[in-house]
């Protein structure tokens, strides 16, 4: 599995790398929502949350916490969104897993409110039944 992010890991193309350890790399997104928008990626590629090693995913979250704290300390953010697009239907464009750390500035209106589905009590019950069974497997 080779994407543009492998080229960044291998230093074949430039990126603004802000953090690196044995498991992950963090670099600035090339089309930031706000300045400081960072991507945290695993060095050993996997596609997304569905095939990722849970320990590596947990480490990505730890590094996202450090990046978020740094963005707040440096006054590059008033808050942050953590976003992970998993699968084409969810808007994933680069199929090498990545966690977006998106700095938000008060009043930036960077994201519109998501649409909401209408669910009847029967819908909730049907979904709950399926999910409880699936999670117990
Ligand atoms: P996603 O829609 O979650 O797959 O997002 C992919 C992200 O990768 C986008 O926000 C892009 O701006 C970002 N991106 C793509 N190529 C590069 C690159 N060479 N350097 C930094 N960020 C990139």
A 10 A CB-CB count for 64 gives 21
pLDDT band at 58 (very low <50, low <70, confident <90, very high): very high
pTM over 0.95: yes
- Residue 65, classified by CB atoms within 10 Å of its CB into exposed (0-12), middle (13-18) or buried (19+), is middle
Q: What is the mean pLDDT of residues 41-64?
A: 98
Q: Residue 4's closest CA among 63, 53, 45?
A: 45
Q: Span 71-100, mean pLDDT?
A: 98
pLDDT over 90 (residue 127): yes
Q: For ligand 1, is residue 29 a contact (CB within 6 Å)?
A: yes
The count of other CB atoms within 10 Å of the CB of residue 94 is 14
The 8-class DSSP code of residue 40 comes to E
Question: Model confidence over 63-85: pLDDT tens digits?
Answer: 999 999 999 999 999 999 999 99
* Closest approach atom of ligand 1 to CA 31: 12
**Separation of CA 3 and ligand 1 centre (Å):** 11
Mean residue pLDDT across the chain: 97
**Closest atom of ligand 1 to CA, residue 28:** 21
pLDDT, tens digit (0-9, with 9 covering 90-100), for 19-36: 999 999 999 999 999 999
Hey, is 28 helix, strand or coil?
A: strand
8 vs 112 pLDDT, higher one: 8
CA neighbor of 28 nearest in space, from 101, 132, 136, 83: 101
CB 48 within 8 A of CB 42: no
Residue 37 catalytic? Answer: no
Cα–Cα distance measured from residue 51 to residue 101, given in angstroms and rounded to the nearest whole number = 21
Report the alpha-carbon angle 45-80-2, nearest 5.
15
């Amino acid at each position: 599995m080779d994407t543009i992010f492998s080229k960044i890991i291998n230093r074949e193309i430039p990126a603004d790398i802000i953090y690196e350890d044995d498991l992950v790399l963090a670099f600035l997104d090339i089309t930031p929502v706000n300045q400081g928008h960072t991507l945290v990626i695993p060095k050993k590629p996997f596609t997304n949350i569905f095939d990722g090693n849970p320990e590596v995913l947990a480490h990505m979250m730890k590094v996202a916490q450090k990046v978020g704290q740094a963005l707040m300390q440096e006054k590059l953010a008033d808050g942050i969104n953590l976003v992970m697009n998993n699968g084409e239907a969810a808007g994933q464009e680069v199929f090498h897993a990545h966690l977006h750390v998106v700095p938000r500035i008060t009043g930036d209106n960077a994201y519109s409110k998501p649409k909401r589905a209408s669910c009847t009590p029967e819908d909730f019950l049907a979904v709950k039944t399926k999910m409880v069974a699936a999670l117990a497997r």
